[in-house]
Structure formats: C-alpha cells, structure tokens
Amino acid sequence: MNKEITFEDLGFRDYKEVWEYQEERFQEILDIKIQNRRTGSSLPTPNYFLFVEHPHVYTLGKSGDVTNLLVSEQQLSQRGATFYKINRGGDITYHGPGQVVGYPILDLDNFFTDIHKYLRFLEEMVILTLADYGLEATRSKGETGVWLDVGTSKARKICAMGVRASRWVTMHGFALNVNTDLSYFDLMIPCGIQDKGVTSLSRELGRHVPMSEVKTRLKAHFSKLFEVGASEEQAPQ
C-alpha cells in the first residue's frame, strides 16, 4: 500500500479546468488498478490532494434538484458566476473567492475501503481545524458537511462536502468557507437544505483569516487521520 500523498496547491483556477485535471488524475489511478488486475502485477497507485480557490461558480450533484438554484443562468452571469452539473454526490454547492476547496484523489485501497469512514474523516479534518481557531464544530445527523450550533435555531453550515468514488478511487471533496462573500449563498438553497444558514471562519472570528494558514492546518490534520507515510509538495503550475 502506498500511503504517500502529493499535495498540490493550484492557486486561483477556473472550476472546469480543475474538474478536467481531477478527472486526469482519477483516470491515471484507475488505469493502474485495471492494469494490476489484468496482469497480476502490483504497481503502486499514487494519491493526490489538490487545494484550489475558484471564481464564483455553482455546481449541482447527480442527486441534486435544479430548482434549488433560485436565479437563472443569465442572472448568475450578471453576478460573474457560472453553473455546472457534475458527477459527484450531493445537491447544489457554491464555490468562490475566499473559500478553501480541497480535492483528495485517493486510492482508498491504500488506506481503508469504507466510503462512509472516508467522509467522516474529511469532516473530522475540518472539525479539528476549526477547533484550532476555538470553534466547536460538529456533524449534523442525516446531513453531510460541518456545522456550528447544530440542534439550535442558529445552526449554520461552514463546510460543504460531496465526493465521487469508483473502484475505491475518490475525487471531488470539500469547500470550507474562510473569507467567503456569503451573499452568493442567497442565490440558492445550500445543499437543498432550507431551514439552516451558512457562515464562514472570518464571520465567526470577526477578522480576515490567511488562507495559507488554514490549508496548512487542514493538511496536518488530514495527514494524521489518514496516517500519511510521506508527502510531496507541488507548487501552482
């Protein structure tokens, strides 16, 4: 099993461009697994973790309802935003400046073959990161992502999640609101959940939070949870 991970910070990139890049990495891992199965070989499969920040974009998962987008694509365009239907689970999600987006592209055969455990570990990574800032975040029963004040009238989501997996290879991931312009969430029903709000790390702390600092903390918690053997850093291309 290869528990080494290549971390890549892609900087500020268009959603479709990064989606295609994810697909290339995803297919690379699948091709090696298929070759190993056909030939009886045991070539190691790589693992990647992409950090990125996107321009304003709304994405709708396979199980999503387009009516959860409350404006037309023309109105989105007027706000400088785009819209894509994509191949992950979940409903509608917003990505934009000030948000740390992470796409782990892992061969779970290198770690554990349990997609529910994988999602819980991603949530735990974010929960531990928020705890570093003095925030008590939790899960919300029956809902993905990470939340604050669950079970109260002030319940609000700070991190969305949606993944795709095939042959135990993952793609897509999480979006943590750090310094996000939350007004863009008013244009949709976040993840199809009508009775809860959204928030950001900067709103909760009352100050701007360095994105690089958050990514460093996320990476550290991820590496510990997944028992990463070694890691390699790649700068933005």
What positions carry a catalytic annotation?
Answer: 191
Measured CA to CA, the distance from residue 104 to residue 208 in angstroms comes to 26
Which residues are CB-contacts of 194 (< 8 A; sequence separation ≥ 6)? Answer: none
- Burial class of 38 by CB neighbour count within 10 A (0 to 12, 13 to 18, 19+): exposed
Strand-pair category, 57-60 with 99-105: unpaired
Measured CA to CA, the distance from residue 232 to residue 168 in angstroms comes to 22
Closest CA to 29 of 18, 15, 45: 45
Inter-residue contact 3 to 72 (CB < 8 Å): no
Which residues are CB-contacts of 142 (< 8 A; sequence separation ≥ 6)? Answer: none
Alpha helices in the chain, H assignment, sequence order: 15-39, 73-78, 115-132, 201-205, 211-225
